[in-house]
Amino acid sequence: MPYKVSHGKAIQVTYSPDEVFARIQHEGIQFIDLQFTGLTGHFHHTTISANTFTPEQMRDGLPKLDGSSIVGFASINDSDLLLKPDPNTFAIIPWMTENKTARLLCDIYWGENRGRLSRDPRGIAQKAEEYIKTQGYDFSTWGPEVEFFVFDKVHWDVLTPYKGQSYSIESKEAPWSQSGDGYPMGLQEGYYPSTPSDTLTPYRNECVNILSQNFGILCDNHHHEVATAGQCEIDIKYDLMTNAADAAQSYKYVIKNVAQKYGKVATMMPKPVAMDAGSGMHVNVSLWKGKENAFFDPDDEIELSQVGRYFCGGIINHAKALSAICNPTTNSYHRLVPGYEAPAYIAWSSGNRSAIVRVPKHLTGKQYSHLKRLEFRAPDPSSNPYLVFAAVTAAGMDGVRKKIDPGEEIRDDIFKMTKSDRSRRGIGVLPKSLGEALDELESDRKFLSPIYTNDVIDKIIELERRDQREIAIRPHPHEFYLYFDV
């Protein structure tokens, strides 16, 4: 749901169908962009004329979707699907000025009153929210930290493997730039540089304004990230699960479209630049009962409750299987290597960024109890946020239900440990490839069953193995091409 700021406070805004139609008329909206997310995380849309949009379509859905043409949705012999708009997601798209256009996010239903499509990612997140309630909690909050690159230009030649394949990246910020009019930054030297080295401050300012003012997505901070060549992060305020996933998808949509306005290209590819930091999507989560954060315990040394430790234990226990959902591309595993800030080892800690799960401890005390959370650092932005949040929920709640201890808190730099030190302290290693991650998911999938159907898990594995085969038969640059537009 969107937010607005009034007198310095964030106020959640909801829209009834009648209010949406009133805004369409009042704002002179000519087109409605119906947007939804596919199983692979790609954003899709179809556009209808506003003057043909009816309350009945808002209520019953629009018969505008061939499910067989969306990867992973439906077979060609049974493919009639409905797009059912969520009025709470109404937003005016500011860069479409000539023919004023608004968007609505949609849920996916079968035709013939056959109910919700089980492979609709938004529906899976909504199912996860309901599951949390059955376990005695009122809701969970989620804060994704989505990193991305903005390049000046990208070129690739991948269609003729027998001739040769290549890609190249242009960025005024990069040490290989030959423009002669910039202030290049070295590999892994991009964290918080001031202007003019940071060339993207005006771009990020515009993204934040559009996210906040048009899409109701509150952003409290933005900055250049560690990598050279235009790595950025814009921080989104935490929210309920489906809302936060909606925000992450809308975020990707906005940054790509604003980049195009600036004559640049933005990508969520986890590791587009070799020998430099990759892009992560750290996921912050907490469970709540009413106004009380179930992860907060004032008497604990790091103020983390037993429930929080069990939730952490579930993530640690299922971390290898989670990789297939949280890191779903072959390129994801170029990021998950030691030395580039991404976690490669399965451990937890407070304030230690070499661990896969971190308990942030910037601010302490009862007045900051709402900030107590777990930060799961493995996911990357090529993943589908709806599926990631639902899978992390399933793992964490499995830990709570079974009282899984997360093990020793590791406060040392894991990257500097020897293999024998890690083995002695029970620190596991994340999968080193997508194939290994999929094998782990196939053998450890039962924890997902309260939220995911077997059909959905099977389809995820099938699609990712397909991409893995596609990469295997072509040289590396094809991987760049395949995952650049994620």
Per the annotation, where are the binding residues for ATP?
220, 353
Please count the other Cβ atoms lying within 10 Å of the Cβ belonging to residue 208: 19
DSSP string, 365-430: SGGGGGG--EEE----TTS-HHHHHHHHHHHHHHHHHHT-----B--S-GGGS-HHHHHHTT-EE-
Q: What does residue 162 show for φ and ψ, rounded to 5 degrees?
A: -75, -25
Annotated binding site: 145, 147, 220, 225, 233, 282, 335, 341, 353, 375, 377
121: helix, strand or coil: helix
Active-site choice (375, 440, 467, 479) = 375
Annotated binding site for L-glutamate: 335, 341, 353, 377
Contact yes or no for 145/281 (Cβ under 8 A): yes
Active-site choice (107, 173, 233, 297) = 233
What kind and span of H or E run contains 92? strand 91-92
Q: How many residues belong to the chain?
A: 486
* C-alpha to C-alpha distance for 306 and 117, rounded to whole angstroms: 36
23 is catalytic: no
411 is catalytic: no
The one-letter amino acid at 137: Y
27 is catalytic: no
233 is catalytic: yes
What is each CA distance from 456 to 127, 357, 394, 417, in whole angstroms? 13, 26, 14, 38
C-alpha dihedral, 236 to 240 to 246 to 248, nearest 10°: 30
Active-site choice (107, 120, 129, 147) = 147
What is each CA distance from 155 to 7, 48, 97, 164, 203, in whole angstroms? 47, 34, 30, 14, 22
147 is catalytic: yes
Active-site choice (224, 377, 445, 478) = 377
166: helix, strand or coil: strand
* C-alpha to C-alpha distance for 167 and 158, rounded to whole angstroms: 8
Contact yes or no for 438/330 (Cβ under 8 A): no
* C-alpha to C-alpha distance for 346 and 425, rounded to whole angstroms: 11
435: helix, strand or coil: helix
Contact yes or no for 236/249 (Cβ under 8 A): no
The one-letter amino acid at 429: V
The one-letter amino acid at 228: T
* C-alpha to C-alpha distance for 287 and 214, rounded to whole angstroms: 29
43: helix, strand or coil: strand
What tokens were used for 63? 């018969």
* C-alpha to C-alpha distance for 453 and 467, rounded to whole angstroms: 22
375 is catalytic: yes
SS (H, E, C) 240-280: EHHHHHHHHHHHHHHHHHHHHHCCCEEECCCCCCCCCCCCC
Active-site choice (107, 198, 225, 467) = 225
Contact yes or no for 427/414 (Cβ under 8 A): yes
373 is catalytic: no
Residue 339 CB partners (closer than 8 Å, separation 6+): 415
Active-site choice (107, 120, 129, 145) = 145
Active-site choice (116, 353, 425, 474) = 353
437: helix, strand or coil: helix
Active-site choice (282, 318, 358, 478) = 282
Show which residues are catalytic: 66, 145, 147, 225, 233, 282, 353, 375, 377
